[in-house]
């Protein structure tokens, strides 16, 4: 039977199948179903060999192979080759009495073979439908190679850009975060588990991981109840409501209790209050590490505590704590019913996916799916829609417009402009570098024979002070160019810029500087990039700065001195082509910032949704040495046109708690080019039983408008938008109050109206 014609089983049929299997399983076999291993086919480390990145995985192939043979594996991660997946699957099935297949999970974060822009970029599109389409492509490719489950989306709110994982999420805002989270879940899962060409979505990391102390990845998190419920949990709630089949726990302590052993968080909130009925997986080695936290005395207790908190599956690098579950149950640390509940959830997922009937993957079909040109077209469109235009003095962009300068020569400058690996961004492993279009390639292709395109890196790539754990993958760290003469190369870049009509300078962070374990203590452009930019700008040739990044960087100098700045993020496989489309105006940028862009690292965390207290008039001067306002506000982004907002109207100006109203606003494209705008709706509660932020996003719509075209957009404000978790009464409330509404193109929107809520 093919996966495509899999019959949908009723709940009772699934339960019956699960029950029949479990009736005959030993405690050890059950524990095996709850164990997930990384699979890297790496040889054991030789005696005395240095401990490089990835040392923890040495010898994995042998260990896991043996565990498969003993039937002690429920799932594997990090395998993407369909032939290897089939081989391992056969080994798994033959290794246990029940012929149970393993689930293959993988970090399908922004594409598998076709790489899409990084998640923060997808969020910057403010286009949930587009985000859903992107992740549907990723799911199709993943499923085709035999992956059943994506460890994505990462829905952690990130308010401190020193934390490198900001690139994996949707930024600082709970409302945008929730919309993007739900869209991704729908993209990965489609109609639900078992839908052809889709995979299980695993939103992560539950919960609060983005608030690591000092932005230091993995460090403890201390969040107030108000922040937790109003800011950090909403994207998870949205993902659960969208039907996510899995959730991954977080590494760190949340308010003094490890998230992975946190009964309140996992059992009471997630399963109890929210009714999550999928399965939970720990983050890598997080169960094991309950010992490291000083929470569990030994591995047996670690496994027992995680299981009793509701962690269904342990993601293990080696030496799983869940292998000790039989012992833990004998010692009375965990009970068999809890174990059974976990096994039931894992087997339910396998059955719903159709895995018991069709465990193998069609290797020929995989080749076809992975090379589908429609996937590349989708990635190009996603990259176009993600870019954010931060500055465009004098209409320098688009290059081929009447307002721009005449361009017959372009200098492309900066090592990132010509780096395939960096164009893709972090958290990708199965990409094809050969098909990756860099910014330089894209500009060369688009510029055509009449425009001369020159290239000079100007400087060598910057390096991390401490290597990345991902540098275990070949080509992850930038290669040191051989025989690079710093002074001569800088001079060459300057000469090229001087001799060209326009200089396109690509700066940012190398992709191994962002992502997991990529925290920074500064937001400056790494290496000699600012010096390069200043030297190029000093030639007088107009500069377009393209920023390749996953976090805000210190762009104070550029924002004051460079006429055009376009944030292209890490744009993916088709990135350079999309960037060229934007530069030449074949399409226009319409993305908006999903985070507040600080001026300097000393301001972080800096968010638009803050409360006000003493001396609000000095809000922008809290520091004596720098403004405390952002460089660019949340929701900000320009286009090649301009938009006016008018006629903000409410269909009623009084309501009772529990009722809803409709807000409408008319957006007009007041410029000369067709363009996209993201209309945003914010609220502010004037008074109430707790303090509320000065602004809160409560609605947005991305629209495409022809020159002169107007559209009236409607937004609904109902109980979901008006309630908040109140730390004074420790409950959700809708206050009797006055609410100000603001509509416009970013979080500083001025067009306003108000309404009252009574009890």
Task: Give, for 496, the enclosing helix (H) or strand (E).
Answer: helix 486-498
For ligand BGC, give the closer residue by CB, 346 or 417.
346
Scanning 401-454, the segments in alpha helix (DSSP H) are 420-424, 439-447
When CB distances to ligand BGC are compared, the closest residue is 151
The Cα–Cα gap between 574 and 134 comes to 13
Question: Binding marks (x or -) toward ligand BGC, 65..94, rule CB under 6 A?
Answer: ------------x-----------------
Scanning 538-674, the segments in alpha helix (DSSP H) are 556-561, 575-583
CB of 108 to ligand BGC, least distance (A): 10
DSSP states along 461-522: PP--SS--GGGGSTT-SPPPPTT--HHHHHHHHHHHHHTSSEEEEEEE--GGGSSTT---S-
Residue 69: phi, psi to the nearest 5? Answer: -65, -25
The Cα–Cα gap between 552 and 638 comes to 17
CB of 473 to ligand BGC, least distance (A): 12
Number of residues that bind ligand BGC (CB under 6 A): 7
Q: How many CB atoms lie within 10 A of CB 351?
A: 21
Told to check if 283 binds ligand BGC by CB under 6 A, we report yes
Told to check if 314 binds ligand BGC by CB under 6 A, we report no
**Cα-to-chain-centroid distance, residue 145:** 22
CB of 444 to ligand BGC, least distance (A): 36
Find the binder of ligand BGC among 118, 238, 284, 661 (CB under 6 A). 284
CB of 204 to ligand BGC, least distance (A): 6
* Two structure tokens written together for 533: 């930019």
Q: Cβ distance 68 to 98 under 8 Å?
A: no
For ligand BGC, give the closer residue by CB, 141 or 283.
283
Find the binder of ligand BGC among 151, 276, 455, 595 (CB under 6 A). 151
Question: Binding marks (x or -) toward ligand BGC, 367..386, rule CB under 6 A?
Answer: --------------------
* Two structure tokens written together for 561: 């001195």
CB of 341 to ligand BGC, least distance (A): 24
CB of 151 to ligand BGC, least distance (A): 4
Told to check if 156 binds ligand BGC by CB under 6 A, we report no
For ligand BGC, give the closer residue by CB, 107 or 441.
107
Burial class (CB in 10 A: 0-12, 13-18, 19+), 690: middle
* Two structure tokens written together for 280: 């939970």
Told to check if 288 binds ligand BGC by CB under 6 A, we report no
* Two structure tokens written together for 382: 């996603």
For ligand BGC, give the closer residue by CB, 76 or 665.
76
CB of 553 to ligand BGC, least distance (A): 23
The Cα–Cα gap between 90 and 361 comes to 11
Active-site choice (156, 217, 283, 746): 283
Told to check if 148 binds ligand BGC by CB under 6 A, we report no
**Whole-number Cα distances in Å, 78 to 41, 148, 149, 311, 430:** 10, 12, 11, 20, 10
For ligand BGC, give the closer residue by CB, 151 or 431.
151
Residue 454: strand pairing partners: 411
Told to check if 516 binds ligand BGC by CB under 6 A, we report yes
CB of 165 to ligand BGC, least distance (A): 8
Q: What is the DSSP letter of 581?
A: H
What does the longest C-alpha to C-alpha distance in the chain come to?
A: 80
For ligand BGC, give the closer residue by CB, 203 or 699.
203
For ligand BGC, give the closer residue by CB, 56 or 193.
56
For ligand BGC, give the closer residue by CB, 72 or 516.
516
**Whole-number Cα distances in Å, 717 to 195, 650, 740:** 33, 10, 12
Beta-carbon contacts of residue 407 (< 8 Å; ≥ 6 apart): 399, 400, 451, 501, 502
In the residue annotation, 283 being an active-site residue is answered as yes
- Dihedral of CA atoms 706, 707, 712, 716 in degrees, nearest 10, equals 70
Residue 565: phi, psi to the nearest 5? Answer: -130, 125
Told to check if 107 binds ligand BGC by CB under 6 A, we report yes
Q: Cβ distance 750 to 744 under 8 Å?
A: yes
Residue 431: strand pairing partners: none
Find the binder of ligand BGC among 30, 204, 324, 692 (CB under 6 A). 204
CB of 516 to ligand BGC, least distance (A): 6
Question: Binding marks (x or -) toward ligand BGC, 159..188, rule CB under 6 A?
Answer: ------------------------------
For ligand BGC, give the closer residue by CB, 470 or 755.
470
Please report, as ranges, the residues that interact with ligand BGC according to CB under 6 A. Answer: 77, 107, 151, 204, 283-284, 516
Residues noted as catalytic: 283
């Amino acid at each position: 039977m093919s996966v495509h014609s899999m019959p949908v089983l009723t709940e009772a049929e699934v339960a019956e199948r699960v029950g029949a299997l479990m009736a005959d399983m030993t405690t050890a076999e059950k524990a095996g179903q709850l164990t997930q291993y990384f699979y890297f086919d790496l040889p054991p480390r030789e005696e005395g060999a240095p401990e490089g990145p990835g040392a923890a995985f040495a010898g994995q192939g042998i260990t896991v192979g043996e565990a498969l043979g003993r039937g002690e594996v429920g799932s594997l991660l990090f395998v993407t080759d369909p032939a290897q997946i089939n081989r391992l699957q056969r080994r798994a099935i033959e290794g246990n009495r029940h012929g149970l297949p393993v689930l293959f999970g993988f970090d399908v974060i922004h594409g598998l073979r076709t790489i899409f822009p990084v998640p923060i970029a997808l969020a910057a599109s403010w286009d949930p439908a587009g985000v859903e389409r992107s992740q549907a492509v990723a799911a199709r490719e993943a499923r085709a190679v035999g992956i059943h489950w994506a460890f994505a989306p990462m829905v952690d709110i990130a308010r401190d850009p020193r934390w490198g994982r900001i690139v994996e999420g949707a930024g600082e805002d709970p409302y945008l975060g929730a919309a993007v989270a739900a869209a991704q879940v729908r993209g990965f899962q489609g109609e639900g588990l078992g839908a052809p060409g889709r995979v299980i979505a695993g939103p992560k990391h539950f919960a609060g991981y983005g608030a690591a102390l000092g932005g230091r990845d993995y460090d403890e998190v201390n969040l107030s109840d108000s922040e937790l419920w109003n800011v950090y949990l909403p994207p998870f709630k949205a993902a659960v409501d969208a039907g996510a089949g899995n959730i991954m726990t977080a590494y760190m302590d949340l308010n003094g209790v490890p998230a992975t052993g946190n009964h309140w968080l996992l059992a009471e909130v997630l399963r109890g209050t929210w009714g999550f009925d999928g399965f939970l997986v720990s983050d890598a080695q997080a169960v094991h590490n309950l010992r490291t936290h000083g929470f569990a005395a030994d591995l047996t207790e670690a496994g027992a505590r995680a299981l009793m908190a509701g962690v269904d599956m342990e993601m293990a690098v080696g030496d799983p704590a869940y292998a000790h579950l039989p012992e833990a149950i004998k010692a009375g640390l965990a009970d068999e019913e809890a174990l059974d509940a976990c096994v039931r959830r894992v087997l339910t997922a396998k059955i719903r996916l159709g895995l018991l009937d069709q465990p193998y993957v069609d290797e020929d079909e995989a080749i076809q799916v992975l090379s589908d040109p429609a996937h590349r077209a989708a990635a190009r469109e996603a990259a176009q829609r993600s870019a954010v235009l931060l500055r465009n003095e004098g209409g320098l962009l688009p290059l081929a417009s009447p307002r721009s300068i005449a361009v017959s020569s372009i200098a492309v400058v900066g090592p990132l402009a010509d780096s395939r690996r960096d164009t893709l961004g972090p958290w990708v492993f199965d990409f094809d570098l050969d098909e990756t279009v860099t910014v330089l390639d894209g500009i060369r292709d688009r510029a055509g024979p009449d425009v001369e395109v020159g290239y000079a890196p100007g400087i060598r790539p910057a390096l991390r002070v401490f290597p990345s754990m991902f540098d275990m993958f070949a080509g992850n760290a930038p290669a040191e160019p051989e025989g690079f003469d710093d002074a001569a190369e800088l001079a060459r870049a300057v000469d090229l810029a001087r001799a060209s009509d326009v200089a396109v300078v690509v700066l940012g962070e190398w992709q191994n500087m962002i992502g997991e374990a990529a925290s920074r203590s500064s937001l400056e452009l790494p290496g000699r990039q600012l010096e390069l930019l200043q030297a190029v700008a000093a030639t007088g040739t107009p500069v377009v700065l393209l920023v390749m990044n996953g976090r805000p960087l210190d762009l104070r100098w550029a924002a004051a001195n460079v006429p055009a700045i376009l944030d292209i993020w890490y744009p993916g496989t088709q990135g350079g082509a999309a960037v060229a489309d934007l530069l030449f105006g074949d399409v226009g940028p319409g993305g908006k910032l999903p985070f507040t862009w600080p001026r300097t690292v000393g301001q972080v965390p800096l968010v638009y949704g803050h409360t006000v207290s003493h001396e609000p008039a000095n809000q922008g001067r809290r520091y004596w040495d720098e403004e405390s306002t952002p460089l660019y506000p949340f929701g900000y982004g320009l286009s090649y046109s301009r938009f006016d907002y008018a006629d903000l109207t409410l269909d009623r100006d009084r309501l009772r708690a529990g009722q809803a109203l409709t807000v409408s606003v008319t957006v007009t494209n007041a410029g000369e080019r067709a363009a996209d705008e993201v209309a945003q709706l914010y609220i502010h509660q004037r008074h109430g039983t707790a303090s509320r932020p000065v602004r809160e996003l409560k609605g947005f719509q991305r629209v495409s408008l022809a020159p002169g075209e107007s559209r009236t957009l409607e937004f609904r404000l109902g109980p979901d938008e008006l309630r908040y978790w109140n730390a004074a009464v420790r409950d959700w409330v809708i206050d009797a109050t006055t609410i100000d509404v603001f509509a416009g193109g970013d979080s500083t929107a001025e067009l306003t109206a108000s309404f009252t809520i009574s009890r």
